[in-house]
Amino acid sequence: MDYAAAYAAWQADPEAFWAAAAEGITWERRWDRVFDPASGAFGRWFPGAALNTCANCLDRHVAAGRGEQAALIWDSPLAGQTVRFTYRALRDRTARVAGALARLGVARGDMVVIYMPMVPEAVIAMLACARLGAVHSVVFGGFAAPELAKRIEHARPRAVVSASCGLEPGRVIAYKPMLDAAIALSAHKPEACLILQREAVRAALVPGRDHDFAEAEAAAAPHAPVPIAATDPLYVLYTSGTTGQPKGVVRDAGGHAVALHNSMRMIYGVGAGDVFWAASDVGWVVGHSYIVYAPLLAGCTSILYEGKPVGTPDAGAFWRVCAAHGVRVLFAAPTALRAIKQQDPEGARIAAHDLSRFEALYLAGERCDPPTAIWAAEKLGRPVVDHWWQTETGWPITAGFRAYGLFPPKPGSGGGPCPGDDVQALDDAGTVLPRGGNGHLAIRLPLPPGAAPTLWEDDAGYRAAYLVDFPGWYRTGDGGVIDADGDVWVMGRTDDVINVAGHRLSTGAIEEVLASHADVAECAVVGAHDALKGQVPLGFFVLKAGVARPGAAIADELVALVRARIGPIAAFRTALPVPRLPKTRSGKILRGSLRRLADGQDPAPPPTIDDPAALAEVATVVRQHGA
């Protein structure tokens, strides 16, 4: 079937499309209805059905005779180790860790926060929660203690799984002190912590609360999978919204399993026995979906890589991993490709490896600039597919589809809408724009299986964030164009979310940190274009009247404060003192104008501006800084 026919088949009968896809999952109980439009914010998928996602990822492959196939290969240039786990071994370890969590009191429906580096035990902990019917919430290791504390306080976990340390090039990051600090900051205290002791740094355990991961695993009996309702949550993943409070994106178990399993063949063209690598981190949605759940649901071998695209040890790292493990499809962030291209522009390190088994490169996390996509396609001699999605959707909204022959998309475009998504560009009033019109990208409701049905304990917040602006539509927060061929060009966020090296951050969260400084009267943070990271945050601040200390000293303190409160991944390096911020007559900061200034443009004052001189003053500061 070609893409147009497949898309038309979905449009003609969405429920039949998803019912057929659902046959790829092993159900404990089949659904009463494929879709119930009357429940939830836009309807619910597979009500009445029951399943266990961990059993679908592990046990059923062992039962089908794939027990000796590799399920997970941990390749860590930072630890100097490569470890291969068969499906049987991964199932057995996961079952025991589930037993260990159960002994700590974790049961179906309980929340578990996972704060771990890229070690196999992170994947095992996620799957162990799924096995128990518990809800996991993974927090990316690059977040500092106060960000972890926010998530612990909101999620209220019964237990936390963490590790003594993570490894970054040239330094060891002690995770446990950050966990201890986060628990101290949080009003909610977990009853138990399961701590993986890594060799590089061992952690002190708090008696009565902390338990050694290895000892607890060894002492536990394997736990059987606990079926849960398809509409029950599998996990919550906090992501940056427009305010300092992250949004707890909920993933329901049934639709997620169906959509992710289906996506592996439909989009990436891989199935059981194929080696698939998502070079992301388990702390992000790409890691959840395409390091852990989708490849294992499909019976693939998934690579878990603890390293960087460059510097561990060089810009050939990705190609070494692909060659060593026979990767067929690689999924990476454009920023990683830019880092590689910068250090190996001729692609000499690509040519040095045997990539005969390598078939395609998929990119997401930010728009891939066409020169990078073209460079990669040329040097690799393979299709490069940019595809667009978000934490909320859980799997791609648009893509190139290996199963249907639409492949690869034009450089700069994110490809065609996935069967399951009716994507349109809307004007400010919510009217569908004709092809070629630049507007708000929105998905017609209902969202497909796998997309977030709500935010954790915040149905009202979900509706407010995504559904109220354009009734009948899901507002993606991205702006863009749909061209004459129906391909979607995502041009960037229309809100205060920025993407720094493939990491989603909120300028609002950074502003909260700047505003907390005793000498800062007001501030604004915008995303500035960066050749490597796509965007980096740039801060502007106004000192309180009477502050005699120089702005530069306070700027240094602000940079340190953001690193301590949000984490190093914010890559916040520049805060500029300005006499005042440009505002509208109603007092709103003109962030759009600041954004353009940050990108080196010279924006004309908008008609709503209160005092054009304020914009000119900031422009002078930016020019002086750049000079």
Is there binding between residue 375 and ligand COA (CB under 6 A)?
no
Q: Which does 504 bind (CB under 5 to 8 A by kind): ligand AMP, ligand COA, none?
A: ligand AMP
Is there binding between residue 388 and ligand AMP (CB under 6 A)?
yes
* Residue closer to ligand AMP (CB basis): 225 or 244: 244
Q: Which of 282, 333, 481, 520 binds ligand COA (CB under 6 A)?
A: 333
* Residue closer to ligand AMP (CB basis): 258 or 488: 488
- Shortest Cβ distance from residue 497 to ligand AMP (Å)? 7
Task: Mark the segment that binds ligand AMP (CB under 6 A) among 181-189, 203-211, 382-390, 520-528.
Answer: 382-390
Look up residue 541 and give its DSSP letter. E
Q: Helix or strand or coil: residue 189?
A: coil
Residue pair 572/539 in contact (Cβ under 8 Å)? The answer is: yes
* Residue closer to ligand COA (CB basis): 272 or 560: 560
Is there binding between residue 504 and ligand AMP (CB under 6 A)?
yes
Mask for 257-286, x = binds ligand AMP (CB under 6 A): ---------------------------xx-
Number of separate helices (H) and strands (E) present in the chain: 21, 31
The full DSSP string for 243-275 is: SSSPEEEEEEHHHHHHHHHHHHHHTT---TT-E
Rounded Cα–Cα distance for residues 186 and 164 (Å): 20
Tell me which amino acid residue 48 is: G
Q: How far is CA 521 from CA 257, 326, 578, 595, 598, in A?
A: 49, 56, 11, 20, 21
* Residue closer to ligand AMP (CB basis): 269 or 409: 409
Q: How far is CA 188 from CA 115, 156, 185, in A?
A: 16, 6, 9
Q: Which of 493, 533, 591, 595 binds ligand AMP (CB under 6 A)?
A: 493
Is there binding between residue 387 and ligand AMP (CB under 6 A)?
yes
Tokens representing residue 569 in the block: 């991944």
Is there binding between residue 365 and ligand COA (CB under 6 A)?
yes
Rounded Cα–Cα distance for residues 293 and 131 (Å): 13
Task: Mark the segment that binds ligand COA (CB under 6 A) among 8-16, 153-161, 193-201, 564-572.
Answer: 564-572
The full length of the chain comes to: 627
Q: Which of 347, 477, 534, 539 binds ligand AMP (CB under 6 A)?
A: 477
Rounded Cα–Cα distance for residues 272 and 321 (Å): 20
- Shortest Cβ distance from residue 568 to ligand COA (Å)? 3
- Shortest Cβ distance from residue 284 to ligand COA (Å)? 5
What is the footprint of ligand AMP within residues 546-585 (CB under 6 A)? none
Is there binding between residue 310 and ligand COA (CB under 6 A)?
yes
Tokens representing residue 238 in the block: 């906090």
Tokens representing residue 587 in the block: 């007092």
Q: Which does 477 bind (CB under 5 to 8 A by kind): ligand COA, ligand AMP, none?
A: ligand AMP
The full DSSP string for 542-554 is: EEPTT--S-HHHH
Residue pair 491/433 in contact (Cβ under 8 Å)? The answer is: no
CA-wise closest residue to 48 among 65, 62, 29: 29
Q: Which of 56, 186, 289, 335 binds ligand COA (CB under 6 A)?
A: 335
* Residue closer to ligand AMP (CB basis): 390 or 507: 390
Pairing of strands 192-196, 210-212: parallel
Q: Which of 478, 487, 496, 511 binds ligand AMP (CB under 6 A)?
A: 478
First to last CA, the chain: 56
On the CB side of 185, CA atoms within 13 Å amount to 18
CA-wise closest residue to 238 among 16, 514, 471, 452: 452
Is there binding between residue 414 and ligand AMP (CB under 6 A)?
yes
Is there binding between residue 505 and ligand COA (CB under 6 A)?
no
Q: Helix or strand or coil: residue 512?
A: helix
Rounded Cα–Cα distance for residues 425 and 29 (Å): 39
Task: Mark the segment that binds ligand COA (CB under 6 A) among 4-12, 394-402, 566-574, 604-612.
Answer: 566-574
Is there binding between residue 414 and ligand COA (CB under 6 A)?
no
Neighbours of 384 (CB within 10 A): 24
* Residue closer to ligand AMP (CB basis): 349 or 367: 367
* Residue closer to ligand COA (CB basis): 310 or 543: 310
Is there binding between residue 203 and ligand COA (CB under 6 A)?
no
Task: Mark the segment that binds ligand COA (CB under 6 A) among 53-61, 177-185, 413-421, 565-573.
Answer: 565-573
Residue pair 506/243 in contact (Cβ under 8 Å)? The answer is: yes
Q: By CB under 6 A, name the binding residues for ligand AMP.
A: 239, 284-285, 364-367, 386-391, 414, 477-478, 490, 493, 499, 504
Q: By CB under 6 A, name the binding residues for ligand COA.
A: 141-142, 166, 168, 173, 279-280, 284, 286, 308-310, 333, 335-336, 339, 365, 501-502, 532, 568-569, 571
